[in-house]
Every structure is written in C-alpha cells, then in structure tokens.
A = this chain, B = another copy of it.
Amino acid sequence: MNTNMEKPYVVGIDIGGTNTVFGIVDARGTIIASGAVKTQIYPTAEEYTDAVCKGLLTLIKANGGVDKVKGIGVGAPNGNYYNGTIEFAPNLPWRGVIPLAAMFEERLGIPTALTNDANAAGIGEMTYGAARGMKDFIMITLGTGVGSGIVVNGQMVYGHDGFAGELGHTIIRRGGRLCGCGRKGCLETYCSATGVTRTAREILTARTEPSLLRDIPAESITSKDVYDAAVKGDKLAKDVFDFTGEILGEALADFIAFSSPEAIILFGGLAHAGDFIFKPVQKALEENILPIYKGKTKLLFSEMKDSDAAVLGASALAWELKDLK
C-alpha cells in the first residue's frame, strides 16, 4: 500500500476500555515496535493523549523519527470515522465528544484517522486474518464490551453518521441487565468479559453446589477465572459459558438475517475460551437461525492475535492519509 519510501511506517493505536495498545507498522504489516498504557487511569482525554504520545514518541524516535511515519490510525470505542472523534463512549472515562484524531495531529504533527475499534479489528481481519478474500462478514469483538465491524460488498459499514455496527448494544433480553449505555438487556451485558463475571456471580448466588469459583471473592472473579475453572472440569463454570454462548448464538442468528454474511468471526478475550464458548454459540445459532440461512454462515475464531488485529487494522487506515498542510 505504501508507495512513499520516505515515510515507510504507519502507527496503529487500539483504544480499549481497559488497555490502549499502539505499534509502529511497516508496509508488509509487521509490527516493528509496540507499547501500551492503561486507558482507565487518565481522568481527562488530554492527559491520556499526553501519555500515549510520550510512549509513541519513544518508539518513533527509536525507529527514524516522526518524518518516517506516514500517518496514524486509531481504533476506538464509539469512534467516528467521518469526524475523527470519539463520541459518548460508555466504557471510556471521558464524556461527550472527544476530537481525538485532531489532538494527535496537533501534538505529533502526523495525519491521523480514527474508526470504531471493532471496525479496525475487522479491517485487520480482512487484510491479514480469517476474513481474507471475503466480501461479506461480521466481526464480533468480545472484550470489556461487545463490539462489531460489519463488511458488506467488501466495504466497512459506517452508516450515514459514521457509527454503524454497535451490535453489542442490540437488545437480546428486553428488560434484562442494566448496561453502561443506560439501557437494559444489551448483548454486551451478557457476552462481554464483564457479562461473564456477572453471570458467574448470579449462578453462584442462585445455586448451592460446590464450585472452584467459590474460592474467589465474588466481586473479584474475572472471566479468566471462569475459564480456568471450566478447564479443570468445574460444572458451574461450564454452565456460565453455556449460558453466555446460548445468548450470543441467539443474537448472531438475528445478525445473519440482516446482512447474510459468509462468516461471523469471534475475536477478543472470550473467544480464547475455545470450545467452552464455541459449542454453545454454534448450537444456539443453529437452533435459532431462519431456515433459509441454515448451514451457510461460517462461525470462525479470529486468526489474529488480539492486540495485533486492532493495531494492524487501525494502522491500515493510515496508509491512505494525505500529508498535513
């Protein structure tokens, strides 16, 4: 993609609810240097941008300086591709509309593009991962929240305002769990990492059987703890994944009725639970899908490393950027 040998690198930044990962990427899609900061510890977007820029500049200086970087691509929750802004992201500490692309441009003097973090992951998957060669697929990111990147006719779906593809905030249980977005029953409240821990706590309270999870204080149980317990054969932990997977499969069946994708690709922390999550998702998907779609859409795990997909995807945006005036 890069024809400008004076500026052989792009930067990809993946802003997650918990961590921000950034990397310098060369024209072959190799991450030649990377770093990270904790997203949640910065009370203002300015302090956050400062911290990311400091980390980035250290990497950039070690690799030939700012003049070698063609552009920066950012993947962020509620990222608006058209405006370069993060707008009302429920899982980030900063409220309102944050002109993050402009803030990076001002601080670093490097042109910057921004999109939804899940869209960035989707672009990464399409370029380097399981969606290579696909024209219609849906990327579902299962992290702190649940995100999605939808590709139709080979193009990312941004919608008329740049915010399309918030499938984590479709309602899967009307009147169900309260979501960070202020509504009830969003997919994200069940199928994110935090949703898994909520489910674990609910089942631990509702039932009396022994479980390895009872050795952990309820408020500090993580989805990783649930996975570890399931690996050790813990029935209750497996039931947590069955419940999570069933709800996700029901949701995916409805998503297929929208864009009839060739594949749905599961990405992020929860996707690492392997068969514990894959089998109940596949089962619920088959049981809930409209007959005309049956057996047509592949359910796949991402082929990218979690951080790489988002960083590479975000960085891919940057090759197309023009120099700043």
B182 contacts A160, CB within 8 Å?
no
A243 to chain B, nearest CB (A): 14
Our pick among B78, B161, B257, B259 for the contact of A296 (Cβ within 8 Å) is B161
- Name the B residues within 8 Å of A134 (CB-CB): 160
Show 22 residue pairs from A and B whose CB-CB distance is below 8 angstroms, ordered by the A residue.
A78-B292, A88-B292, A134-B160, A152-B153, A152-B164, A153-B153, A157-B258, A158-B260, A160-B261, A161-B296, A164-B258, A164-B259, A164-B260, A165-B259, A166-B257, A166-B290, A170-B258, A171-B253, A181-B290, A182-B291, A183-B290, A255-B258
Distance A254 CA – B188 CA, assembled complex (angstroms)? 13
Tell me if A105 is interfacial: C-beta within 8 Å of chain B. Answer: no
B157 contacts A155, CB within 8 Å?
no
- Name the B residues within 8 Å of A255 (CB-CB): 258
| Chain B, residue nearest A90 (CB) | B291
This chain: how many copies in the complex? Answer: 2
Distance A258 CA – B152 CA, assembled complex (angstroms)? 12
| Chain B, residue nearest A255 (CB) | B258
Tell me if A174 is interfacial: C-beta within 8 Å of chain B. Answer: yes
Tell me if A250 is interfacial: C-beta within 8 Å of chain B. Answer: yes
Distance A254 CA – B183 CA, assembled complex (angstroms)? 12
Tell me if A167 is interfacial: C-beta within 8 Å of chain B. Answer: yes
| Chain B, residue nearest A138 (CB) | B258
Q: Is the interface of A mostly helix, strand, loop or mixed?
A: loop
- Name the B residues within 8 Å of A261 (CB-CB): 159-160
| Chain B, residue nearest A153 (CB) | B155
Distance A193 CA – B136 CA, assembled complex (angstroms)? 32
Our pick among B171, B253, B262 for the contact of A250 (Cβ within 8 Å) is B171
| Chain B, residue nearest A263 (CB) | B160
B157 contacts A152, CB within 8 Å?
yes
- Name the B residues within 8 Å of A181 (CB-CB): 290-291
- Name the B residues within 8 Å of A253 (CB-CB): 171
- Name the B residues within 8 Å of A173 (CB-CB): 174
A237 to chain B, nearest CB (A): 25
Distance A209 CA – B292 CA, assembled complex (angstroms)? 43
